[in-house]
């Protein structure tokens, strides 16, 4: 992901997470000031159709965000993004984790298929009454 990509990424972000979307400054900070961050996009015919971000700190890695444009969902882009994240993280990390809203069935299915395990519940993670599953997997096994 580059600074030039941010407008397209932000459009997908707002459509994907209408109540909890990050602002442009948050993405910009991740790209320019967070030495632990790695963000990447997937393109179709020159247009960004999805993106994913992660933090890598010593031997642990964490997905911070992943989304595919609404009209491009269900075509394997989410899986491709996650498989790239896993491959990249496995160069340095032993564990990859993430949080996902307990009612986000599509994302949970994707994570289960990609080998994530349930690690517990974070109460009110997305706001009052909006709990998250912590999911995690070992890399390089």
Ligand X SMILES: CC(C)(COP(=O)(O)OP(=O)(O)OC[C@H]1O[C@@H](n2cnc3c(N)ncnc32)[C@H](O)[C@@H]1OP(=O)(O)O)[C@@H](O)C(=O)NCCC(=O)NCCS
| Residue positions annotated with a catalytic role | 99, 111
Residues within the interface to ligand X (CB under 6 A): 16, 66-68, 73-79, 100, 104-107, 109-110, 113
Instruction: Tell me whether residue 29 or residue 79 sits nearer to ligand X (CB atom).
Output: 79
Q: Where are the alpha helices (DSSP H) in the chain?
A: 6-16, 24-32, 77-89, 105-113
- Minimal CA–CA distance to 108: which of 85, 135, 70, 83? 135
Q: How far apart are CA 22 and CA 51, in angstroms?
A: 13
The least CB distance from residue 76 to ligand X, in Å, is: 4
The least CB distance from residue 109 to ligand X, in Å, is: 3
The least CB distance from residue 74 to ligand X, in Å, is: 5
Instruction: Tell me whether residue 58 or residue 109 sits nearer to ligand X (CB atom).
Output: 109
- Minimal CA–CA distance to 74: which of 106, 45, 105, 111? 106
CA torsion sign for 26, 31, 37, 38 is positive
Task: Write out the two tokens for 137.
Answer: 């997997």
| Residue in the shown chain whose Cβ atom is closest to ligand X | 78
Instruction: Tell me whether residue 58 or residue 66 sits nearer to ligand X (CB atom).
Output: 66
């Amino acid at each position: 992901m580059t600074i030039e990509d941010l407008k397209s990424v932000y459009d997908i972000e707002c459509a994907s997470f209408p109540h909890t979307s990050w602002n442009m400054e948050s993405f910009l900070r991740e790209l320019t000031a967070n030495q632990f961050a790695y963000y990447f996009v997937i393109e179709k015919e020159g247009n960004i159709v999805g993106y994913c971000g992660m933090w890598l700190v010593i031997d642990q890695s964490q997905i911070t965000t992943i989304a595919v444009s609404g009209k491009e969902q269900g075509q394997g882009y989410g899986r491709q993004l996650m498989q790239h994240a896993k491959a990249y993280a496995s160069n340095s990390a032993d564990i990859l984790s993430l949080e996902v809203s307990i009612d986000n069935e599509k994302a949970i299915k994707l994570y289960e298929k990609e080998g994530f395990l349930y690690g517990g519940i974070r109460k009110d993670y997305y706001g009052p009454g909006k709990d998250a599953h912590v999911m995690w997997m070992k890399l390089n096994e």
